[in-house]
Structure 1
Amino acid sequence: MANVLILQSPPPKLEDVQKKLLSKGALEFLCKLHRQFSSEIDQLYQNRLARNVDLQTRKLSFKTSPERDDKSWKIGPLPIRLQNRHLDLGDVSPANAAHFVAALNSDVQGIQVDFDDGHCPTWRNQLLAHHNVNLAVSGKLSGAPLSIMTCPVLMLRPRAWNMIDHDILIDGKEAIGPLVDFGLLMYHNGKKLYEANSGPYFYLSKLEGASEAKLWNDIFVWTQDELDLPQGTIKACVLIENIVSTFELEEILYALKDHSLGLNCGIWDYCASIIAKFGNREEFLLPDRNKYVNMERRFLSSYMRLVVATCHARGAPATGGMAAAMLKPGSDGTDAGSKAIVNKVLEAKLKEIELGVDGFMVYDSRLVPYVNELWKKTGTSANQIQRQFNVNITAEDLLSIPSGGVTLQGLKHNVAVFIQFVYHWLAGTGHFFYSGNVEDSATAEISRAQIWQWIRFAPVLEDDPAKQVTARLVEKTASNFMAHAHKNLCRSNAERKRLTAAKYMSMEIFLARNPPEFITTYLNDNHKFRTLHNKALLSNL
């Protein structure tokens, strides 16, 4: 029998949803999944701690391996629906039914069905998200197509390994977030997606090297056996969001081989990981990201070119990052201001196409027709895998931090993004809109990482050389933002209290001697967040 305790009572009107989602069969499956892989995941956490210590005294380098030396192998064949992945919609949290339905009706190849960066895992959000996915796959989601075969393909993104599920106990231990998401998605939808020739397909976030890809592959193999699915049915695209993974691209592809759907580039998580691993060394001081950090910089262009070259050599698609730009409310892109935004997005994406990417993401569905037209103009077929690139990317190329300074405007922007991210997380929302962009945990990560690093090394402001970045300046910047936000963001006393809490939590992160590697870990484990959204049943058990 499964030894599983659900620690939360169902929110109002979701009693039946919780009962159906967490049925006896589903709980037994989650229990078996955890028993099978719990010890290996505990070892993964230990390996990460050991690696972080090791990286303080050594440099990353490319290592020889059988997978890297053998040039003959390729990933398994791609299903027909995965051969053209020109455009996905990113950060689509299925907890937001209206947004999810709109995505399902969009003229794109895929949807990043997000339980990670753009999703906040309150108990209510988790129930709604899984329920809406289940309805969509069954053709019963109101307003969505009646057949999953006529929708964009669902690219399911479970939480990353850093996320613990505090709402479920399995064998006396808190459940593992990604296993809960993956297990429930597979148990309820795996066979239906397979029978519709539409999956199950996944994005895998924040992997740290090939050993973690191998663990996911083992999970896929075991799950396919348990659910009586042919081996190789599950396909997964790994997001290369960690500097360690960039040195193990060949090995990651090989580890997933028959389950591989290639690799994806995620610029801001990637930059944040460099600070997380090496940020206490001044040579890795990252300048103002809005002014000096973009895909044309040596370390990022090298990263993307290496991802593309490695993928194509192994018969795998390589996808670029997400365009976070948003058109103005009510705009269809034809007014002058919106045209400038569209042109900027198209210019950046054309450069990625020229580098050989096989697709990328946008958030704003109003950009879809413009991006689709861009692909048509390039004359690109379903993918560019046939384009082979002979690159010689070195460790120095990948770790060459761009020159440039720190600006007061850059500091203000990072402070505003991070405080607002914490504020919205406390409100139960994983992404928000600010200054013409969608912001999620990826931009929150790089924002707070830069602030922490700037405080540590006190660089001079290039737009005011008489000033340095100090804790006092950051606090003053945060207070100035608060004065503005109280007037424009908060409509109630509860919202004002939440914003105040967000400011103090943000300052705690900015000033931490040893900050958490992932902001979502900090927030997910924080008592403020947990007491705001979760109603424990422990007293009734």
Structure 2
Amino acid sequence: MTSPPTPALDLPDGVEVTGPVHPGYEQILSRPALELVAALHRELEPRRQERLAARAEVVARVAAGQDLDFLPETEGVRSDPSWRVARPAPGLEDRRVEMTGPTDRKMTINAMNSGARVWLADQEDANTPLWENVVEGQINLRDAVLGTISFTSAEGKEYSLETTDQAALPTIVMRPRGWHLDEKHVTVDGERVAGGLVDVALYLCASARAQLDAGKGPYFYLPKMEHHLEARLWNDAFVLAQDRLGIPRGTIRATCLIETFPAAFQMEEILYELREHSSGLNAGRWDYLFSVIKTYRTRGADYVLPDRAAVTMTAPFMRAYTELLVSTCHRRGAHAIGGMAAFIPSKDEAVNAAAYEKVTADKQREADDGFDGSWVAHPGMVPTCREVFDAVLGDRPHQLGRLRDDVQVRAADLLDVAATPGEVTERGLRANIEVGITYLSVWLTGRGAVGIHHLMEDAATAEISRSQVWQWLHQGVTLADTGEQVTRELVHRLTDEVLRELPGEESDHRAATALFLQVAVGEEFVDFLTVPAYETMP
């Protein structure tokens, strides 16, 4: 059987696409889409590089003893009571349950059939930037919006939408890649383009008009920002894109993940920069833990977190973070969305019972605190989250009227990592090694969401795992259960033990092990493990 011919792309001047172009890709990599990519890159790339360089300066100041704090130069924004973000956009009024997951075809259908109010269609942490995922994810999103998506598995099982009524389906909110990730298969004037700008431009050109025709709009979740000027960069991207596409300003809406330590001190400023495009903030708690470790990794015992499993949302510094997020959002008329429940339902009823109890308590805390909705990572968890928020919200679509004026969070409260209960143990060290290597073994094959020990893990999990190992090693932490000091020799010994216990052949995990050790025990801290990992991909 002969393969179908490779479609030709109509490339604008200065634009090159080096990834393979399979049949159907030309509809996503259209000339208007690539022209938008080029326009965004030429306008914004110098400022993107400036903002990335500024991130390193913050870490250097913290290492020198200067703590994060609320910015004095933006006090006027925080103290001005007059401004509000835009009113909730169509399809985003009620967000009590949000389903998260990658944009492969089967997952897209399952998410759209999940019963959630919103689907976070993830082109970032639950995805990998394999070229086929980048383009085919956009095909799947377009087909979902059009109601034409279907899928037949290798076993012959058929998947399709339970309804084509877009009003009855979850509202799609696409998460593009963060500012730190390039797209190596698309260049403009010989320069790599920001992966997030590629994701946004392709989505807008393929799906925005269909979204508007369905009575909703093109909406985004913006990840990994560390400064309000990064939000301004996104806002400028949206203005440029809307003007070029001929759609009114404010049509695009964005929910920002507050998932970095520096961003926690700039929540109001981030809402302000995006205010005509803003639809709220989300407590991206797993990446937030990673960022706390990364930002304060050299500052001594007061910033050493215990085993990952011991750090809960009731830790004082995490309570300060979520309480501040809710009060900030509601004061400005923005939705506050809670963190992800990563549990995957199991065939083991005892495991299920314990997990459902924890998830229910977690969602109850969020709803009682004033959050307007929350995330789950599996369709089976949608009813649990919905029940909790239904009980608190009733017929109301949200809790925006609950201003939480009782919340008073100081910089010292956000920085109080030392008050976190728990210990660093060999068990925790071993778990970090196992999860890091297991996740990376799958990530390198092109899958970004991995079920490990009944939890849906994404890149944030691997980041926490390797950054904790790095910090424990470089701070010379002594393990509470064995009395051993964390050394490179100990990490290598435990890695060998973990590899003997992992399923499959040791060769299956060789590349992942090398990458994990590179970012976990190297002398220099790598800002994002996905950056060197991406360079190893085809």
**Which residue does the alignment assign to 1:358?**
372
**Which residue does the alignment assign to 1:83?**
93
Kindly indicate whether the alpha-carbon contact (under 8 Å) linking 1:408 and 1:461 is maintained by their aligned counterparts in 2. Answer: yes
Distance 1:51 1:458, change over 3 A: closer
| 2:367 counterpart SS class | helix
- The range that moved more, 142-151 or 402-411, is 142-151
**Which residue does the alignment assign to 2:5?**
none
Kindly indicate whether the alpha-carbon contact (under 8 Å) linking 2:90 and 2:216 is maintained by their aligned counterparts in 1. Answer: no
| Cα deviation, residue 53, structure 1 | 2.4
| 2:81 counterpart SS class | coil
| Cα deviation, residue 47, structure 1 | 2.0
Looking at structure 2, the residues matched to 340 and 497 of structure 1 have their Cα atoms a distance apart, in angstroms, of 35
Looking at structure 2, the residues matched to 336 and 48 of structure 1 have their Cα atoms a distance apart, in angstroms, of 45
Kindly indicate whether the alpha-carbon contact (under 8 Å) linking 1:159 and 1:181 is maintained by their aligned counterparts in 2. Answer: yes
Looking at structure 1, the residues matched to 448 and 497 of structure 2 have their Cα atoms a distance apart, in angstroms, of 24
CA displacement 1:76-116 (0-9 Å, x = unmatched): 111242111001111x111x211110111111100110010
| Cα deviation, residue 379, structure 1 | 4.3
| 1:258 counterpart SS class | coil
TM-score (norm 2): 0.92
1:472 maps to 2:483:
no
1:18 maps to 2:33:
no
| 2:77 counterpart SS class | helix
Looking at structure 2, the residues matched to 50 and 194 of structure 1 have their Cα atoms a distance apart, in angstroms, of 41
| 1:464 counterpart SS class | coil
- The range that moved more, 313-322 or 279-288, is 279-288
**Which residue does the alignment assign to 1:303?**
321
1:132 maps to 2:140:
yes
| Cα deviation, residue 375, structure 1 | 2.1
**Which residue does the alignment assign to 1:105?**
113
| Cα deviation, residue 500, structure 1 | 1.4
Matched ranges for 1:86-235 at <5 A: 86-90=96-100, 92-94=101-103, 96-142=104-150, 143-144=160-161, 145-235=163-253
CA displacement 1:299-339 (0-9 Å, x = unmatched): 0000000000000111111011100011115x7xxx44322
Looking at structure 2, the residues matched to 47 and 188 of structure 1 have their Cα atoms a distance apart, in angstroms, of 33
**Which residue does the alignment assign to 1:397?**
413
Looking at structure 2, the residues matched to 368 and 55 of structure 1 have their Cα atoms a distance apart, in angstroms, of 40
Distance 1:336 1:273, change over 3 A: closer
Kindly indicate whether the alpha-carbon contact (under 8 Å) linking 1:30 and 1:183 is maintained by their aligned counterparts in 2. Answer: yes
Looking at structure 1, the residues matched to 90 and 271 of structure 2 have their Cα atoms a distance apart, in angstroms, of 20
CA displacement 1:486-530 (0-9 Å, x = unmatched): xx244xxxxx434012112211211112221111112112xxx32
Kindly indicate whether the alpha-carbon contact (under 8 Å) linking 2:373 and 2:389 is maintained by their aligned counterparts in 1. Answer: no
**Structure 1: segments with no counterpart, 5+ residues:** 491-495, 535-541
- The range that moved more, 383-392 or 202-211, is 383-392
- The range that moved more, 315-324 or 18-27, is 18-27
**Which residue does the alignment assign to 1:347?**
361
Looking at structure 1, the residues matched to 214 and 141 of structure 2 have their Cα atoms a distance apart, in angstroms, of 15
- The range that moved more, 38-47 or 108-117, is 38-47
Looking at structure 2, the residues matched to 337 and 275 of structure 1 have their Cα atoms a distance apart, in angstroms, of 30
| 1:468 counterpart SS class | coil
Which amino acid is 2:464 matched to?
I
CA displacement 1:209-245 (0-9 Å, x = unmatched): 1111111111111111111111111110000011111
Kindly indicate whether the alpha-carbon contact (under 8 Å) linking 2:63 and 2:298 is maintained by their aligned counterparts in 1. Answer: no
1:264 maps to 2:282:
yes
| Cα deviation, residue 9, structure 1 | 2.0
Which amino acid is 1:105 matched to?
N
Kindly indicate whether the alpha-carbon contact (under 8 Å) linking 2:90 and 2:217 is maintained by their aligned counterparts in 1. Answer: no
**Which residue does the alignment assign to 1:7?**
18
| Cα deviation, residue 56, structure 1 | 2.5
| 2:24 counterpart SS class | helix
| Cα deviation, residue 477, structure 1 | 1.2
- The range that moved more, 160-169 or 504-513, is 504-513
**Which residue does the alignment assign to 2:53?**
46
**Which residue does the alignment assign to 1:318?**
336
Kindly indicate whether the alpha-carbon contact (under 8 Å) linking 1:459 and 1:469 is maintained by their aligned counterparts in 2. Answer: yes
1:502 maps to 2:516:
no
Looking at structure 2, the residues matched to 259 and 28 of structure 1 have their Cα atoms a distance apart, in angstroms, of 23
**Which residue does the alignment assign to 2:444?**
426
Looking at structure 2, the residues matched to 2 and 50 of structure 1 have their Cα atoms a distance apart, in angstroms, of 36
**Which residue does the alignment assign to 2:34?**
27
Which amino acid is 1:287 matched to?
P
Which amino acid is 1:61 matched to?
D
Equivalent pairs counted in the alignment come to: 509
**Which residue does the alignment assign to 2:155?**
none
| Cα deviation, residue 422, structure 1 | 1.4
Kindly indicate whether the alpha-carbon contact (under 8 Å) linking 2:96 and 2:372 is maintained by their aligned counterparts in 1. Answer: yes
Which amino acid is 1:41 matched to?
R
Looking at structure 2, the residues matched to 118 and 9 of structure 1 have their Cα atoms a distance apart, in angstroms, of 23
Across the aligned residues of Structure 1 and Structure 2, the Cα RMSD in angstroms comes to 1.5
Matched ranges for 1:370-519 at <5 A: 370-380=384-394, 381-390=396-405, 391-401=407-417, 402-465=420-483, 467-485=484-502, 488-490=503-505, 496-519=506-529
Kindly indicate whether the alpha-carbon contact (under 8 Å) linking 2:368 and 2:392 is maintained by their aligned counterparts in 1. Answer: no
Looking at structure 1, the residues matched to 423 and 53 of structure 2 have their Cα atoms a distance apart, in angstroms, of 36
Distance 1:290 1:336, change over 3 A: closer
**Which residue does the alignment assign to 2:8?**
none
Kindly indicate whether the alpha-carbon contact (under 8 Å) linking 2:89 and 2:279 is maintained by their aligned counterparts in 1. Answer: no
| Cα deviation, residue 371, structure 1 | 2.1
Looking at structure 2, the residues matched to 66 and 501 of structure 1 have their Cα atoms a distance apart, in angstroms, of 50
Kindly indicate whether the alpha-carbon contact (under 8 Å) linking 1:240 and 1:266 is maintained by their aligned counterparts in 2. Answer: yes
| 1:55 counterpart SS class | helix
